[in-house]
Amino acid sequence: MTGSLATALAVLLLVAVLVSAVVRPWGWPEAVIAVPAAVIAVATGLLTPDDALSEAKQLGPVIGFLAAVLVLAQLCDDEGLFRACGVWMARGARGRPRRLLTQVFLMASAITAVLSLDATIVLLTPVVFATAARLGARPKPHIYACAHLSNTASLLLPVSNLTNLLAFAASGLSFTRFAALMALPWLAAIAVEYAVFRRFFATDLNAGAATPNSAQTPQVPVFALATVIGTLAGFVIASALGIDPAWAAFAGAAVLAVRALARRRTTPKAIVGSAALPFLAFVLALGIVVRAVVDHGLADALGQVMPDGTGLAALFAIAVLAAVLANVINNLPAVLVLLPLTAPTGPGAVLAVLLGANIGPNLTYAGSLATLLWRRIVRDHDSEVDLGEFTRLGLLAVPAALVVSVLALWASLAVIGV
């Protein structure tokens, strides 16, 4: 196959995979198109079987980690953790929509950082809908906050986002060093988002709401909270000992699974289902298809515009490039494409990619799979998202959040080092 023909076929396969993930024709899982596309990439010689196997081995631990975190989040929901979060938010709001927005920001940021963005989208967003309805508050600011924070608030830990897991593996950083370098950018980006939301949704937030009944206090899911805290400690300890932190995630999920099975709160089938196996297959197949695109021209094209070094200007240029690419081909493929180009430069460049790939998707629906999933959940609650409004909010929030987070990363690298 000639070079131009191979490039065209690789791009066509990637477009088909991404379009099917966005549209999901007939409700098909993303893997229905992605897996055959990966097979075609190998069968036509775009990738050798050895290259495809190498990509699968590289993504394998990351996918296993993601599966464990998804199971952990679902079991926490089964224990009542997210229902408790809804009541805590309602009580903390005290009948004031602005206070409810603050509660949603705090809760969504913490859940995204610890249990991943999927937990915020799939499990917290319905709770926020119910909480706003119970208070009589307009839901839009709080629901939009779940979408934005599922992306922006996923900067903190390696476990917060699949893109983080990929970057963590490429950066060579320890779990604690990764978190230390991203803490200030995480806080800065969330602060910008909060300021933008307060101003953008001022009319909705000025509307009244009711004070919840103080009797609506659920039993605190102590065991689930303790397991999550223990799992986080396990991430730190495993990283310090040179052990794959995925083992800590598996241990946390196993503890809750055994308890849930013993109490007949779940079934083995439900546990396997919560691992989202079709989505994991999609991630693996997408990685193989992206590798084909990278090997047939994209890497060379991006290499010509990729800045050198980790100075402030270089970090900003890398973050902007990642943000643009995320909105063109989705943030997961963008990270898969950019990591091989930035990893040799050092961890600072890798983390700059994350800033663009995690904050940038708040500009368009197609920027991340999480935003697409959030849009479907909103529709399931008989609501609709206005594309113009979503884009206007993104135009205000994304550039400002990128600027302050890049500045914060640059400062963190200067103070903490790598």
Q: What is the mean pLDDT of residues 366-371?
A: 80
> Is the model's pLDDT at 162 over the cut of 90?
no
pLDDT reported for residue 356: 96
Q: What is the mean pLDDT of the chain?
A: 87
Q: What mean pLDDT is predicted for residues 361-381?
A: 81
**Beta carbons within 8 Å of 111's beta carbon, 6+ residues apart:** 85, 119, 120, 123, 124
The per-residue pLDDT for 211 is 61
Residue 305 has pLDDT above 70, yes or no: yes
Q: Do 160 and 117 meet the contact criterion of CB atoms below 8 Å apart?
A: yes
The long-range contacts involving 35-39, CB below 8 angstroms and separated by at least 24 positions, are 35/281, 35/282, 35/285, 37/13, 37/285, 37/289, 38/284, 38/285, 38/286, 38/288, 38/289
- Are 347 and 181 within 8 A, CB to CB? yes
pLDDT of residue 1: 61
| Mean pLDDT value across residues 36-59 | 90
In whole angstroms, give the CA distance from residue 280 to residue 65. Answer: 11
| pLDDT the model gives residue 142 | 93
> Of the segments 109-123, 227-241, 256-270, 372-386, which one has the largest average pLDDT value?
256-270
C-alpha span between 268 and 109 (Å, rounded): 30
What pLDDT sits at residue 209? 61
* pLDDT of 180 above 90: yes
Q: Is the dihedral of CA 373, 335, 44, 1 positive or negative?
A: positive
Map the chain to HEC letters.
Answer: CCHHHHHHHHHHHHHHHHHHHHHCHHHCCCHHHHHHHHHHHHHCCCCCHHHHHHHHHHHHHHHHHHHHHHHHHHHHHHCCHHHHHHHHHHHHHCCCHHHHHHHHHHHHHHHHHHHCHHHHHHHHHHHHHHHHHHHCCCCHHHHHHHHHHHHHHHHCCCCCCHHHHHHHHHHCCCHHHHHHHHHHHHHHHHHHHHHHHHHHCHHHHHCCCCCCCCCCCCCCCHHHHHHHHHHHHHHHHHHHCCCCCHHHHHHHHHHHHHHHHHCCCCCHHHHHHHCCHHHHHHHHHHHHHHHHHHHHHHHHHHHHHCCCCCCHHHHHHHHHHHHHHHHHHCHHHHHHHHHHHHHHHCHHHHHHHHHHHHHHHHHCHHHCHHHHHHHHHHHHCCCCCCHHHHHHHHHHHHHHHHHHHHHHHHHHHHHHCC
Which of 74-83, 243-252, 284-293, 363-372 is least confident? 363-372
Structure tokens at 105: 């920001």
pLDDT at 362 over 60: yes
**pLDDT interval class at 182 (50, 70, 90):** very high
- In this structure, how many other beta carbons lie within 10 angstroms of the beta carbon of residue 206? 10
**Quick check: 214 pLDDT over 80?**
no
pLDDT at 376: 73
pLDDT over 90, % of the chain: 42
Q: What is the mean pLDDT of residues 145-171?
A: 92
More confident residue, 380 or 289: 289
Q: Is the pLDDT at 216 greater than 80, yes or no?
A: no
Neighbours of 36 (CB within 10 A): 15
Lowest mean pLDDT among 53-62, 209-218, 338-347, 362-371: 209-218
Please state the rounded mean pLDDT for residues 81-95. 81
pLDDT for 2: 61
Tokens of 172: 């060579």
pLDDT at 43 (0 to 100): 92
Predicted TM-score (pTM) of this structure: 0.82
For residue 359, name the pLDDT band (cuts at 50, 70, 90).
Answer: very high
Q: pLDDT (tens digit, 9 = 90+) per residue, 94-131?
A: 778 899 999 999 999 999 998 888 788 888 888 898 88
pLDDT value at 215 more than 60: no
Please determine, for residue 258, whether its predicted confidence score (pLDDT) is greater than 90: yes
Does residue 21 have a pLDDT over 90?
no
Task: Report the alpha-carbon distance of residue 371 to residue 361 in Å, rounded.
Answer: 8
Q: Which pLDDT tens digit goes with each residue over 50-85?
A: 999 988 888 888 788 878 888 888 898 888 888 888
Looking at residue 338, its pLDDT comes to 92
State both tokens at 258: 């055994």
% of the chain residues with pLDDT over 70: 96
Is residue 393 predicted with pLDDT exceeding 90? Answer: yes
